[in-house]
Structure 1
């Protein structure tokens, strides 16, 4: 049947009010309803909607929650307060669970999220108007009951609700046919039976006060929720035989004047039973989702805090211990960035299942968000019990994870705080467990630790260092160091890698491995990257007067590359300092190529158009792929120092190193070996075709003045290089 044909009659002409500040939404709804006989009005803001609702009659309001002046919830409160007879369907782009709960609590017929499907919208509007029509029919039934028994029975049996009457003892004297469809009982089976035969046993006490109502005035039972039994012969498509039906009950006493009595006598009860099972089920789902993580089905932060609060009350009352654990997954970001968020979500689900198997029935595992989990272990007898659980967690994560054919390895860092030794409040225990977890992170990850005061002091130092890094940018405490790259076949400098250092006012020189994690946490990576570009472009003209052939490489964070500002920043800095682009090379990690390949290609191709070359740093330690080397505009491969460090014998083959050298040679790429520290490594690399190297054997990273002096000294050396042995500094 075409949409709204059911309402194209002279007897029923629904009036709809569309409240939306988006003119496109209003236009699309008008286009949808143009072929029906419905009357459509629109309001472009909340004030307009309130004015029209105050003066006009409407059957249905299609209401957007996010309006520029008066919010949708406020409009619904106005409808309720003024007792306006209109139904509301909320159509909103808001995804918060509180928005949906707030709308349903205010009596909304349904809640549709934007963007919605055509079928979803039309079905909802049809159902809302149909329900309204049925309610109007019920009111008509109530009026006709006073005039015609025949009309009464016809209309009552067509009602979507169960309508019944009871005698003074609570036995059914009438019940309509709706009971057969909803509960599976034939009306003849129930006539003469007590209402208690239908009521679930746990609800009988409440039913005794409501089902057989004697009051008939404003104190009569209204919207009392009960559960009724279903027959094994139930035919209702959405119900099962042993699944009770939740109802909303309205009941009122019936009185008749008898004989010469001055007061009417009580003769029974009249009631209406509405099936609200689906509504209660929907409310239950919404409530469950409000307190559970949708991805892992674990309790979320709110529910965890409720359970921890209850566990603390019991621990204080029973004088027992409890433990709180804070779990952070190691290397999860690498999996998420390289294999994608879909695989990352699958990994989190598998982790949740493994961790849950390690717990007792009364323990709680919750997901805090991201790759962080929390655990509460109530009723502990000793600290060792928490240690045993933490060890089980670590063991459970040792086995690899299968992500649709991709194998992933992760571990966890676990901090433990025990009540009452490590805190007596919820906030103290969570904070101290988090602190202990950071201690494990700092000591190499993949383990667990109990909170102690040294952990707190370490975290305080981390916090101070994080705040100090912002000041370092403003106070010019940062400095660029340069590590030369040597062509061992000529013993000449061919380039250098730019490395950032922090000249801390009290701690002295701090290496990037210590302060870059804080930069990541505080979103300072873009600012640091731009400072590095400015600094090296400022330094380059100084050594160019001595040697204008050296190529400078700069290692930039994936986060900075993702933001897409590197092209404009490099172009501006090179222009300001008159730097030729062929003197610069940008180093990236190969994981950038996999996490978002198309975006990375676009950014790197723009650098190529600028004249800047690209190197893949730490090649071989990530998810290497020849396909990416073919697709990406790469000029240089840098062999990771972990592979170079393994070279201890000139006569032993090292397959990974040989494979990388072969890849570079086959693709015509430049090759640089990082971390060279021994003459054996030099001879092995040279023998197999890799001649350009950097490492402590040649030069350590050095400040600009020392770097210029080194360039000058090398430029003045005219001795031939000794084959197989580099000239040392």
Structure 2
């Protein structure tokens, strides 16, 4: 029998040991799991809040109604497999906007994050995760520990001292059973002594570290558990060291990477380390529980990529651009460095979409993005703003003029033809450049000024770059005012046509007119076409206005024909209008409706229009001429048409550009060019008309060279319908003959 005092001590000892055996395993497990689950819920709430806030920033007014997109964002779930969660988005008033709900059993771990629009809270996102499963596991461990504790207590209390050794052996066996329990959980577990020497690794830890328990035992933790920071690639402080130094539970820092021994594979890991204490509070070691979150991190990165990158090209999107520019401006302000913003818009990209389809257009944008990235330095950034607009942020520039070097590289790179599905595509870009801090000290101002400079580059002929200057802002306001007025000009009947006569030099009769568009704006007065046609083309309104011109000119030609004055009316057509797939049908329908013979309509096209998509244009022109419509090549001699093009296209008339006619007497080259064009027309049986004839001397030389027709101020300025009809009434052969001695024929 035990001595009473020894028996009491033995009883107390047995009770304490049993209590520790019963309490420590489940409490340790539950505490570590709670820290893990809480961190997971917090991270997922933060990630989802970022994604939803990005959606709100892109669509601040209607985001509450994009439930499908919100539910899609909420569906990115990177937590532990099988964990039940409830995810809900509320607006600022607490109304549920979207939810991704599963049955979630108490107890719950909750996390809430605010949603922001430009820094202003507009709602919140709540995530609740069930903690029932870890509690069930903890209770399982507690049950096992309870059985072990009871057996230990009974064994220690009931056996005599001679069986104490056997009791300790039993305790060791029960400890092994507890270790088996640790080996069965899904998390990795490592225990050490107070000197950070490895004592135990469970199978999951062995798999992730590449060390077995036998290999790792007694080795220092830093040798077995090699971790570093994903972003800095610098070694991270081991959490066990921190927990032993501070005597507290320590969570791993964010972006921790574990390198496995042997193959060097890297794993994203998360969780924490805690000190192991005995009954008197003394620390005898530490335990670290961690798990592989590589798949979850990939999901987070994917979610981040969706929120901050363009889906088509993979380039940073507008949000990423603004954030990068903000950081670059902050660094530039502190370090006194220049930052340049290049705003790029592709020229004629819409033509590719309209003619070849959006699929080809998308592929072209991808190739453009690659070429743009190749033109900038590694630390510079190219982004896609949307459509065919791109930006570049150039940092640490030695001078403002350094941005021009990059702009020239970009222009050269994009001028090289693209080959796509058997198509040779030629595009260019117009670039506007602003420099921080010279041209602005805020993102909005820099971007607006770069956009203004880009439009100035377009107005200068495209395929060039322009630095922003303050005078551009005033010019941009004038252009904007004109564009706004143009949008309503057609509906308000502000357009009208004037007609300039054409004279046949052989018969000395008026044989045709050119219909010329005029705009009488109530605000701007009479605006000449050279000042507003480009704006119509940029806005796309040129097609609608062009249809009105065609319809009006055809109707007027029919009136003159019915009055016994049939004459050919010429109408200029823009490239965008000509490329409409049903345009030929539209022309023939207008002729049929008006009852005008096709031979009394002449379409004027430019050389550049003719050569842009030659195969399609040949079919269009042939379709017109086969039905009797005449086609004239306008401004001939200023482009790059070759003899083969003239033989290929069924052109009925060549119009010599006025720039040659002006210098016909003083410039020998101009004289020879005109003579060559006239001879060429006669050889190909194509009529030749000279425009811009203003003097009797020009008239006489053109008649001597055999030119077929003339048009210009010598004959008449463009006239309204009543004025033109009066001109016809007063016109006579004697007046034609007087052209050789008079300044004007009226």
Please give the TM-score of this superposition, normalised by the length of structure 2. Answer: 0.59
Alignment of structure 1 residues 310-329 onto 2, 5 Å: 310-313=327-330, 322=338, 324-328=340-344
1:649 and 2:668 matched: yes
Q: For structure 2, which runs of at least 5 residues remain unmatched after alignment? A: 1-67, 70-80, 84-95, 107-125, 146-173, 230-234
**CA RMSD across the alignment:** 6.1
Match of 2:504 among 472, 487, 492: 487
Which residue of the other structure, out of 552, 564, 572, is the alignment partner of 1:535? Answer: 552
Contact 1:167 1:267 (8 Å CA) reproduced: yes
What is the rounded CA distance, in whole Å, between the counterparts of 1:656 and 1:156 in structure 2? Answer: 100
Within the candidate set 209, 229, 235, 2:259 is matched to 229
Q: Quote the residue 1:273 is aligned against.
A: 291
Within 1, Cα distance between the matches of 2:714 and 2:180? 100
8 Å Cα contact 1:439/1:449 also seen in 2: no
Aligned to 2:466: 448
SS of equivalent residue, structure 1 residue 77: strand
Match for residue 702 of structure 1? 719
The alpha-carbon distance between structure 1 residues 397 and 225, as it changes in their structure 2 partners (threshold 3 A), is: closer
Q: Which residue of 2 aligns with 1:208?
A: 240
Of residues 185, 191, 204, the one that matches 1:166 is: 191
1:661 matched residue in structure 2: 680
Q: Within 2, Cα distance between the matches of 1:506 and 1:175?
A: 84
Task: Pick which of 74-83 and 549-558 moved more.
Answer: 74-83
CA deviation after TM superposition for structure 1 residue 78, in Å = 1.3
Q: CA deviation at 1:502?
A: 0.8
- In the alignment, what sits opposite 1:582? 599
Tell me whether 1:552 sits opposite 2:569 in the alignment.
yes
1:189 pairs with 2:215: yes
Which residue among 470, 476, 497 is the counterpart of 2:493? 476
Alignment of 1:664-675 (within 5 A): 666=684, 672=689, 674-675=691-692
The 2-side partners of 1:222 and 1:308 are apart by 32
Instruction: Quote the Cα distance in structure 2 between the aligned partners of 1:659 and 1:59.
Output: 85
How far apart, CA to CA, are the structure 2 residues paired with 1:702 and 1:615? 21
Shift of 1:536: 1.6
Contact kept in structure 1, 2:678 and 2:706, CA below 8 Å: no
| Structure 1 segment 70-469 matched on structure 2, within 5 A | 77-79=100-102, 163-167=188-192, 169=194, 172-173=198-199, 175=201, 185=211, 188-196=214-222, 197-202=224-229, 204-205=236-237, 207-208=239-240, 226-231=256-261, 233-234=262-263, 241=264, 244-249=266-271, 269=287, 271=289, 273-274=291-292, 276-277=293-294, 280-281=297-298, 283-284=300-301, 287-288=304-305, 290-292=307-309, 299-313=316-330, 322=338, 324-328=340-344, 341=361, 346=367, 349-350=370-371, 353-354=374-375, 356=376, 366-369=383-386, 372-374=389-391, 385-387=399-401, 389-390=403-404, 393-394=407-408, 397=411, 401-403=415-417, 412=430, 414-416=432-434, 419=437, 422-439=439-456, 442=459, 446=464, 448-452=466-470, 454-469=471-486
> For the residues of structure 1 that align with 2:127 and 2:696, how far apart are their CA atoms?
78
Q: In 2 relative to 1, CA 693–286 (structure 1 residues): closer, same or farther, beyond 3 Å?
A: farther
CA distance in 1, matches of 2:294, 2:698: 75
The whole-number CA distance in structure 2 between the counterparts of 1:593 and 1:152 is 86
Distance in 2 (CA, whole Å) between partners of 1:193 and 1:431 is 62
Distance in 2 of aligned mates of 1:250 and 1:392: 49
CA distance in 2, matches of 1:302, 1:370: 15
Per the alignment, residue 717 of structure 1 pairs with 733
Larger radius of gyration: 2
Hey, what's the Cα distance between the residues in 2 that align with 1:623 and 1:336? 22
Give the helix-richer structure, 1 or 2.
Answer: 2
Is the partner of 2:102 in helix, strand or coil?
A: helix
Q: Equivalents in 1 of 2:350, 2:696: separation in Å?
A: 34
CA distance in 2, matches of 1:694, 1:630: 25
Do the aligned residues in 2 keep the contact of 1:351 with 1:397 (CA within 8 Å)? no
Q: Give unpaired runs (5+ residues) of structure 1.
A: 1-44, 47-57, 61-72, 84-104, 108-134, 235-240
Q: 1:188 to 1:658 in 2, by over 3 A?
A: farther
Give the equivalent residue in structure 1 for 2:232. Answer: none
SS at match of 2:490: helix
Q: SS of 1:386's equivalent? A: coil
SS of equivalent to 2:718: coil
The offset of 1:254, in angstroms, is 9.3
Shift of 1:462: 1.5
Equivalences, count: 586
Distance, in Å, in 1 between the alignment partners of 2:668 and 2:513 is 28
Q: CA 1:388–1:193 in structure 2 vs 1: closer, same or farther (change >3 Å)?
A: closer
Whether the 8 Å contact between 2:660 and 2:670 is mirrored in structure 1 is: no
Distance change >3 Å, CA 292–CA 680, structure 1 → 2: farther
Work out whether residues 515 and 569 of structure 2, in 8 Å CA contact, stay in contact via their aligned partners in 1: yes
Cα gap change, 1:531/1:335 in structure 2, threshold over 3 Å: closer, same or farther? closer
Q: Work out whether residues 637 and 671 of structure 1, in 8 Å CA contact, stay in contact via their aligned partners in 2.
A: yes
Task: Tell me what 1:636 maps to.
Answer: 652
Post-superposition shift, 1:440? 5.5
Contact 1:564 1:603 in 2 (8 A): no
Q: Which piece of structure 1 moves more, 495-504 or 681-690?
A: 681-690
Deviation of 1:228 (Å): 0.4
Q: TM-score, normalised by structure 1?
A: 0.60
Residue by residue, what CA displacement relative to the aligned partner does 1:598-634 show, whole Å, maximum 9, x if unpaired? Answer: 87678667756875444454567677588887887x4
Alpha-carbon distance in 2 for matches of 1:625, 1:149: 96
Per-residue deviation, residues 190-231 of structure 1 (Å, max 9, x unmatched): 34444443231447447439999x999xx9979986310133
Q: CA deviation at 1:501?
A: 0.9
Q: State the distance in 1 between where 2:640 and 2:296 align.
A: 49
- CA gap of 1:494–1:220, structure 2 versus 1, over 3 A, is same
Counterpart position of 1:520: 537
Deviation, 1:653, is: 5.0
